Structure 1
Amino acid sequence: MQNGRIKVAKAQNNASTLPEIGKIKTGTKAISSGGKEYPKAIDYFRPTGNFANQFTALFGEKPNSLQIAFISNDIKEVCNEQFESWDKGKRFGWGDGETFSVFNAATGKYDEGVSATDKRVKALKWDRTLTLRFVLLKMTGVLGYWSWSTKAKEVSIPSITKSFDLVMEKSGSIIGFPFNFTIEMKKSYTPGEAKTYPVVSLIPSFTEENMEAVRNYIEAGGSMNRLTTKMIESGSMEPKVLEIGEGK
């Protein structure tokens, strides 16, 4: 059922076994003049989790650009787009637009393979979401991935999935390719919409700085179990693959 894209099946399975070591947020909580808490968009990446202090030490208090790489070709794992239904912190279901997994209160489990036309699906409110899982190339001393999620269906999601899918299509593998993960605040002049909103972008970047960051990550023991060798040497997208052994 789940293929990492809404109504689009793309699957290559090179699953990572790295643990999640933190989440990256593009929003925070603010307090109104009346004392009420509300979500507030920000124009920088905010880390959470046990390694947040190390993140800040490397990138500063308010970084707006990160060098990242993916370590799996499994889209469900590293760049997963789907519909999700949440209410009061509880997840009632998820799906790709055609079939869904829906929570069954009677059994306490999720019913899988539920059709989009089923009344259980139609009864829930669904949000289009995108979750990325990646390593930070400059964080060479910690073996683990970071995750980031968004519901920005009109702006960030289409741009990010297009960039990711383009590299995957052209190269045959996403593993080890360096990207610049950026955020900037845009202005809207449309009546009824927020005046400013953050736009997150995923930009393939084969600069010498990023290539060096990939080299350093591998040499420091980064757990990229497969890597495109010609990309390392010359920036070529030709998918020749090198197996990286432990301690090498």
Structure 2
Amino acid sequence: MQVLVVEDDELIASGLAAGLQAHGMVAVCVTTAVSAEQAIYAADFDVMVLDLGLPDQDGLTLLKETRSRKLSLPVIVLTARDAIEYRIAGLQSGADDYVLKPFDLGELAARIHAVVRRSKGRATQEITAGPLRLDPQYGQVWLNEKLIALSRREFDILIHLANAAGHWLAPSTLRDRVFGEDIQISSNALNVHIHNIRRKLGAEAIETSRGLGFRLGWRL
């Protein structure tokens, strides 16, 4: 899962990025509303975690502008503004959730999973595709109800393919979502992980098409 973190406090942002990574997510951090807007259009994020006290524009204004453009990106406001009028304003401006600082990383990760799940129209946390069952919150996968041990990267690949709902994902897109755009990896790293997934789940688990990329072998 790829998370856009909009936070001007570098210490909080770096802690968020490390904490979300520990929960199997990739965080891209920006510090201003302008850079957030650029990032939203430059990459395909699953959710945005938004601070309200940005240096160039109030976070609520950014949120309203995002919603006015009919962008459906889930947004979690993460702020120290605890007055009830701020919470109401945040939710009325289009936030999917409102979390107060200080916060627990485990709870934030659970809230991220919840808003992403709702945005994709799923009533439950688990994803089922054919004989495959995935639990994004705990990073577990079952094949024909047998628990299969996968690495975090392997699990992330399956989640992104499942969330694509039968559409092909280009190798570059899948690579950026799993590893993050700023992380340098070998050109063969993605193929190695996909090979390992097929070895554990079967060759039919992931389909490959030259010029199109990859997709989950089983339909949701």
Task: Tell whether the structures are fold-level matches, with TM greater than 0.5.
Answer: no
Write 1 or 2 for the structure with the bigger share of helix. 2
TM-score, with normalisation over the residues of structure 2? 0.29
TM-score, with normalisation over the residues of structure 1? 0.26
